Amino acid sequence: MAQEEQAVLVADAVDFVRAHRFLLHDVSLTVRPGEHWVLIGPNGAGKTTLLRLLGALEHPTAGEVRVLGGVLGKVDMRQLRTAIGHVDPRHPLQWPLSVREVVLSGATNTVGLQQRWKPTPEQLQQADELIEVLGMSPLRDSRWTTLSSGERGRALIARALMPEPALLLLDEPATGLDLAAREQLLTGLDTLRAGHPLLASVLVTHHLEEIPPGFTDALVMSHGRVTACGPIADTVTGTILSAAFKLPLRVNEHDGRYSARLA
């Protein structure tokens, strides 16, 4: 119980039903400060659905989800979301804001900058520091509409960190990126991890190559159920992933990076 009280996230025997169909069934997960989890599995496994629960965007049908000490259904979900850094590459921004303005919008948890809102000098400094950590300083004044997908991804991570959250959720942040942009994104996440030792993160991906170095744990899913959960070296294996993806796979690991190919 003491360990759960210290946890950033706890999902306990969670079901999620939509249109009489189980999208999640009996899913449990505990994430503690400083842990970095990857949710991996085939399409339709329930990864993004679980991430939405962990991000206080949905309520479970059954079971309990505790996020930053608040129990979903017994806490103001809107207020809770302000304490979570949520990175979605489908961010709906369409205005030509600068990178700096996009990052600053994370302070108010809004898509764009609020009218008549002025950041404090401390917030401006924080935004610039996050932009630097993510390798975006040369593009600080560039407009959102001119950025590549990789540049937008890094800007969104900086934006998500403006409220100084204890939890960072990343929903397929490398989607649509070319090789160079993906590696820049993963390098930025690794730098972030090293500089924020208590930050916990959960990343959804389909591809082992998109797991950043330094990630500690993995939850493997298939058909809405957990097939493996624990330290990444014990769960991201050929045997476990072959069963989840229904395909014979061989997993390789080198310097904290993973890849897979047909066995």
pLDDT tens profile 127-184: 999 998 888 899 999 999 899 888 888 899 899 889 888 899 998 888 878 888 888 8
Verify that 180 and 246 share a domain, yes or no. yes
The count of domains in the chain is 2
User: 186 and 139, same structural domain?
Assistant: no
| pLDDT of res. 241 | 96
Domain assignment of residue 90, yes or no: no
DSSP per-residue letters across 224-257: TEEEEEEEHHHHSSHHHHHHHHTS-EEEEEETTE
pTM for the whole thing?
A: 0.87
Burial class (CB in 10 A: 0-12, 13-18, 19+), 10: buried
pLDDT tens per residue across span 175-209: 878 888 888 888 888 888 888 889 999 999 989 99
Helix residue ranges per DSSP H, the chain: 2-5, 47-54, 77-81, 99-104, 121-133, 149-160, 179-195, 232-235, 238-245
Confidence grade of residue 233 (pLDDT, cut at 50, 70, 90): very high
The domain in which residue 157 lies consists of: 95-164
Does 197 fall in a domain? yes
Residues 110 and 204 in one domain: no
The CATH number for 252's domain is: 3.40.50.300
